[in-house]
Amino acid sequence: MEPSEIAVGLDIGTTKIVAMVGRKKPDGTLEILGMGQAKSKGVQRGVVSNISQTIEAIQKAVQDAEIASEVTIKKVVVGIAGQHIRSLQHSDYITRREPEEVIENKDIHELIDNVHKLVMLPGEEIIHVLPQEFKVDGEAGIMEPKGMFGARLEANFHIVVGQITAIGNIGRCVTKSDLTVDGITLEPLASADACLSEEEKEAGVVLVDIGGGTTDVAIFKDGIIRHTAVIPFGGNIITEDIKEGCNIIEKQAELLKVKFGSAWPGENSDNEIVSIPGLRGREPKEVSLKNLSRIIHARVVEIIDQVFMEIKSYGYEDEKKRLIAGIVLTGGGAQLKHLRQLVEYETGMDARIGLPNEHLTHESNGVLISPMYATSVGLVMKALEVQERNPVAAVVEVEKVVEASPIDTPISDVPPKKNMEDETQSEISETSEDDRPFFDKWAAKFLKFLANDEE
């Protein structure tokens, strides 16, 4: 196996950290070679709150993934999310100096760079600039202006903004784990790649990724991302409500939610009772399933209302903004019983559960085809994209494990990557800056910042 065939996605979530290794098969489908995961103790609502605990969890997830896939992981593509992420709409234009020449990539990137110069709130930075549609000399509705003539190039943009310190802490956790960040992407975009079909994105669809700490929303229409949002509620807050409402410990509350929980209160009868073992020899505690579903229902309705508010904010009632494909629910929280029916009832829109099987091979492990791994699968897909654009810098270096497993070799003993990067730098620099997507250029600047910070 060539190193360039393999890619790794690292999902640093609130409840779990997942390292997933995959490769693209000749037919274009994605094969997952192995996965490792660890409980996430140092992340709250998508933001790192304890550096050392996060590093420890990353190392465990990566080591397990190395054993499962029989490769040594050195580079990863990381997802960013969290309550600090916000989005806004903006219009901007440039007046071209040579209107008699056709519009090229450099003109589009000049316009995008103008947007990047917008002044944000203190501590915030633009991390994603997504052109919605272009205007050339006042002519609207142009999706691809390249090759056209015109003096004034204008565009509507969807801008994603994040706290640079929060993103920096994620980057530091990865580099301190002796890994190189090969790329950064927004987690809702990664989940969308894994769960949504091109037809759904074209028709208009809302992706709702219910994680442990946050719920990510991404709206697509005409094949373009139109709106993104992060709601600071997720599965963990439901567990917290059960814990307080039933007066039990968190571990028992999570188990109750997963095994017996339902988002629809009418599902259970009054006499359905679950007995919870008492602590340290105390009497068992009885919990009514009807009461349990009422607690879950109240919080889930709150999350759905927040999601629906974002859909209304996008303007889905406008004829041109209709979301024909409805809502796709994914993430660990999407496994809650009767959630789909409740979403349809509350919003009046069609809904389905999004499984990350759109691009996976038929032989893929059934465990992976679960909503909770949607982001991880999407990050592997993004890592393969990064690699295809820049094949010189391989995402991982493959080493077949023959005599010793990767866990026997401390990560710190891996030869430094600097030499390989030095050798390839001249080849990489031959690729024009203007040929790279704007987000990748921002990621490159951010990785340079991290490298300087390490020194």
User: Are 86-163 and 197-355 in the same CATH fold?
Assistant: no
Residue ranges in the chain whose pLDDT is less than 70: 1-4, 362-366, 390-455
Do the Cβ atoms of 163 and 123 come closer than 8 Å? yes
As assigned by CATH, the class of the 197-355 domain is alpha beta
Distance CA 239, CA 237 (A): 5
Distance CA 21, CA 163 (A): 28
As assigned by CATH, the class of the 3-83+165-196+358-449 domain is alpha beta
**Helix and strand tally (H, E) in the chain?**
12, 18
Q: 235-246 and 250-260 are packed helices; what angle lies between their axes, rounded to 10 degrees? A: 110
Can you give the pLDDT at residue 18? 94
- Token pair in block for residue 353: 């559960």
Do the Cβ atoms of 207 and 220 come closer than 8 Å? yes
Can you give the pLDDT at residue 3? 47
Can you give the pLDDT at residue 440? 58
User: Which SS3 state, helix, strand or coil, does residue 9 take?
Assistant: strand
- Token pair in block for residue 453: 């910070």
Do the Cβ atoms of 169 and 263 come closer than 8 Å? no
Distance CA 424, CA 411 (A): 23
How does strand 285-288 pair with strand 327-330? Answer: unpaired
Do the Cβ atoms of 124 and 164 come closer than 8 Å? yes
Domain ranges of the chain: 3-83+165-196+358-449, 86-163, 197-355
Q: Which residues pair with 397 in a beta bridge?
A: 72
Q: Which of 452, 446, 389 is nearest to 126 (CA)?
A: 446
Structurally, what CATH architecture does the domain formed by 86-163 represent? 2-Layer Sandwich (3.30)
Can you give the pLDDT at residue 215? 93
Can you give the pLDDT at residue 119? 85
Do the Cβ atoms of 134 and 145 come closer than 8 Å? yes
- State the sign of the Cα–Cα–Cα–Cα dihedral 420, 426, 428, 429: positive
Can you give the pLDDT at residue 108? 92
Distance CA 69, CA 35 (A): 7
How does strand 139-142 pair with strand 224-231? Answer: unpaired
